[in-house]
């Protein structure tokens, strides 16, 4: 009997409810994407993991009982990649805040990151490691609908995103952006440590679950010294120096 190739997906929507960083359309995004994957692209619903912070509001009856923390998102992605075989199709969709981490003495000046609901940043180093683990013959598409999402898989040869500026919609919208200074301020209140080094705060708060970028600083150069040909594709909501917009579904007919 011929082997049946798997289609696996992890979908993450962060609205950050009841915070000053609250968004409104991100959970709507991934719920709609799950429907699309099943009905149009033939994904088995049991092979789609949905993580949202809806339960932070409702407490029950949410679409997910697993909150999209940094640890949970990385665990879901690692599980998906570990299950992959040649011919399989992997898909990760993230809708939420993105940010840029200043990187002194780096030619581009910043690292791109996504902002899970607990602020345990997931960086381009983490995504590069995931793509490096992809078995030959499997494909991995990452769609990040977040600010500064261009370059989220560092040194990825296949990146698709907007190249021109488009006029803003007449509907009200909010940038999916948290300034780095705000993230630093938030983490400082959690750790009580007086330092501007983001890695110190993340390691203090999340320990071994912090980004690889901060756990093993030398790992970044090691990862990129051994770049291999891969089937990774990044679809970004914007370029690395741009912001993406959050639309309130209640103002656009529920979608």
- List strand residue ranges (DSSP E) for the chain, in order: 7-13, 48-52, 89-95, 98-102, 110-114, 122-123, 139-145, 159-160, 173-175, 232-236, 245-247
What are the residues facing 159 on neighbouring strands?
234
pLDDT at 64: 44
Q: Which active-site residues does the annotation give? A: 97, 147
Q: Is 208 within 8 Å of 123 (Cβ atoms)?
A: no
What ranges do the domains of the chain cover? 7-159+172-180+232-247
pLDDT at 125: 85
Which stretch of DSSP H or E encloses residue 131?
helix 124-132
CATH no. for 7-159+172-180+232-247 = 3.40.50.12660
Give every residue of the chain whose pLDDT is below 70, as ranges.
Answer: 1-2, 56-65, 104-109, 147-177, 217-231, 236-255
| Nearest to 219, CA basis, from 132, 134, 99, 160 | 132
What's the number of CA atoms in the CB half-sphere (13 Å) around residue 59? Answer: 0
CA distance 115 to 177: 9
Q: Is 64 within 8 Å of 50 (Cβ atoms)?
A: yes
pLDDT at 25: 85
pLDDT at 110: 72
CA distance 101 to 165: 23
């Amino acid at each position: 009997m011929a082997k049946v190739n798997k289609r696996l997906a992890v979908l993450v929507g962060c609205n950050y409810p009841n915070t000053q960083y609250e968004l409104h359309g991100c959970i709507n995004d991934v719920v709609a994407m799950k429907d699309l994957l099943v009905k149009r692209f033939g994904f088995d619903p049991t092979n789609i993991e949905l993580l949202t912070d809806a339960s932070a509001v409702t407490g029950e009856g949410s679409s997910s009982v697993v909150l999209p923390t940094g640890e949970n998102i990385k665990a879901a992605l690692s599980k998906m990649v570990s299950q992959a075989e040649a011919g399989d199709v992997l898909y990760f969709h993230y809708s939420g805040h993105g940010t840029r981490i200043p990187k002194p003495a780096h030619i581009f000046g910043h690292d791109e990151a996504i902002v899970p609901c607990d602020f345990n940043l997931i960086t381009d180093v983490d995504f590069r490691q995931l793509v490096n683990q992809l078995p030959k013959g499997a494909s991995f598409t990452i769609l990040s609908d977040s600010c500064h999402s261009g370059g989220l898989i560092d040194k990825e040869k296949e990146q698709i995103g907007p190249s021109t500026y488009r006029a803003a919609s007449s509907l009200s919208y909010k940038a999916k952006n948290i300034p780095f200074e705000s993230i630093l301020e938030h983490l400082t209140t959690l750790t009580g440590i007086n330092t501007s080094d983001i890695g110190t705060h993340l390691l203090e708060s999340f320990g071994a679950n912090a980004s690889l970028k901060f756990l093993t600083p030398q790992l970044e150069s090691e990862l990129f010294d051994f770049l291999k040909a891969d089937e990774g594709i990044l679809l970004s909501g914007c370029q690395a120096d741009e912001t993406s917009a959050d639309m309130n579904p209640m103002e656009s007919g529920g979608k």
